[in-house]
Structure 1
Amino acid sequence: MKWEDEGIVLSVKPFGEKGYLVCLMTKDHGRVMGWLKSASTRIKAVLQPGIRVQAHWQARLEEQLGGWRLEPLGGSVAALFTKPLSLSALLSATALCEVMLPEREPHASVYTSLLALIRTLGEDAWGQGYFDFECALLGAAGFRLHLSSCAVTGARENLFYVSPRSGKAVCQTEGALYHDKLLMFPSFLQEGRTPCPKDLLGALDLTEYFIERYILPHGGYGLPAARVRLKEDLRQHRM
């Protein structure tokens, strides 16, 4: 049993004397764990979260762990080491993929969204891409947010709340009576502007509510430490 696909490194852990357990988010095969028997100096240099690789997977049986042969596809996340907040976002995104997605279940939308996010992390305006990524991840995991129009009136203006039960947007006039029971709609989406750290914190509170309530309990996981750290970093950055 063998296949070839492109993928993004999610995590790398030592395995045996010279090997590694490498988890990839692949384009056509979803999240896949495999064993890299050994790695050349060139490959070791790119075995880090966020790196895009061409992956060759092989095993005797489909349900086995399988072995990797990896080839870097170019690109680097080295520049993010001078951008701590961007690096924090990358580590949060890759950690969420590991705990929210079942193994070997294709989710092309998540791969595309993660790749788009990584390509913007070197810039300052990556907040929208990160929020879009978490929304795509929620949808792939089974809970899709509906933020384009009001669930009650169908209006696309004056969106102010989000229903904690349905994940649907609600306009201010319709939701005012239930203010204390509703979640806040990310204002930057309505205003069409780049989110600042404060905006992104509010947006992550929204996605976090649904991740913790509807997704993580089914897998027996808690919110990854890297995701918690991202919010802490955003709080410090806005001070």
Structure 2
Amino acid sequence: MDWRDTGILLTVRRHGEAAAIIDVFTESHGRHAGVVPGGAGRRLSPLLQPGAQLDVSWRARLEDHIGTYTVEPQRSRAAAALSGRLALAGLNAVTALLAFTLPEREVHPALYARTEPLLDLLGNDDLWPLAYLRWELALLEELGFGLDLTACAVTGATEGLAYVSPRTGRAVSRAGAGDWADRLLPLPPILRGEGDAGDAEIAEAFRTTGHFLEHRVAPALGNKPLPEARARFVDLFSRRSARS
């Protein structure tokens, strides 16, 4: 069994004295692990950094074996990731969430198509937070937990939408919320793709997407805790928004 693909390096761990096991989110084969002979060595280890874009060739005797990778770096994102704390935290959040949520070897071409350009924005701190928010919405959709923000779940109205039901992920209008408003999640306009969002509005939107990642996605994956990398990124960004 063998194939060749392009992908984003998610995780690296040492295997034996000189090899490494890498987890790559590939365009046509999903999240896929494999052994890189010499991957922990002096030549390859600097190139095998999370977020790197790789050309990978995978080979195994049987399809269900872990197999081995031959890797050719296409581009590194290390310089962009190290350009600032927000960029590094953002990269860590993306790679951690992909490694956490995606079943191994399950193909997600639409999500891949959104992830590669998102990572190419690393270092652009003005554009990154909104792009990342839209990526989280796409991730929820891909996992079967997409939000329905088109009309009020209570009244059917399409105007005055201000909340999201934490149970159903559907929009709720101010009129429909009534006495339950304080139990609902915020629905800032940017979640519906409306207007130019400031940092404070994006930070508010992260509260809503974070709820569904933590209380819907994580339980569906066996109640494993959501990766801390996501919370670190949101906290860092929220502190920036509070200063602005």
Where do residues 1-239 of structure 1 align in structure 2 (5 Å cutoff)?
Answer: 1-39=1-39, 43-123=44-124, 124-152=126-154, 155-189=157-191, 191-196=194-199, 198-220=200-222, 221-237=224-240, 238-239=242-243
Cα distance, 1:125 vs structure 2: 1.5
Structure 1 residue ranges without an equivalent (≥5) = none
| Contact persistence 1:157–1:171 (CA under 8 A) | yes
| Contact persistence 2:31–2:103 (CA under 8 A) | yes
Give deviations 1:20-75, integer Å, cap 9, x for gaps: 11111111111111111114756433311111111111111111111111112235
Q: How many aligned positions are there?
A: 238
Which consecutive aligned stretches of 4+ in structure 1 deviate over 6 angstroms post-superposition? none
Taking the aligned partners of 2:101 and 2:83, their CA distance within structure 1 comes to: 29
Cα distance, 1:184 vs structure 2: 0.7
| Contact persistence 2:188–2:204 (CA under 8 A) | yes
Taking the aligned partners of 2:212 and 2:198, their CA distance within structure 1 comes to: 20
| Contact persistence 1:23–1:33 (CA under 8 A) | yes
| Contact persistence 2:47–2:76 (CA under 8 A) | no
Taking the aligned partners of 1:89 and 1:8, their CA distance within structure 2 comes to: 15
| Contact persistence 1:127–1:194 (CA under 8 A) | no
The alignment's C-alpha RMSD in Å is 2.0
* TM-score normalised according to structure 1 size: 0.90
Taking the aligned partners of 2:156 and 2:56, their CA distance within structure 1 comes to: 45
Cα distance, 1:153 vs structure 2: 5.3
Cα distance, 1:103 vs structure 2: 0.6
| Contact persistence 1:8–1:50 (CA under 8 A) | yes
Identity between Structure 1 and Structure 2 (%): 38
Structure 2 residue ranges without an equivalent (≥5) = none
* TM-score normalised according to structure 2 size: 0.88
Taking the aligned partners of 1:178 and 1:110, their CA distance within structure 2 comes to: 34
| Contact persistence 1:163–1:183 (CA under 8 A) | yes
SS at match of 1:110: helix
| Contact persistence 2:203–2:237 (CA under 8 A) | yes
| Contact persistence 2:51–2:76 (CA under 8 A) | no
Taking the aligned partners of 1:188 and 1:136, their CA distance within structure 2 comes to: 14
Question: Which amino acid is 2:81 matched to?
Answer: L
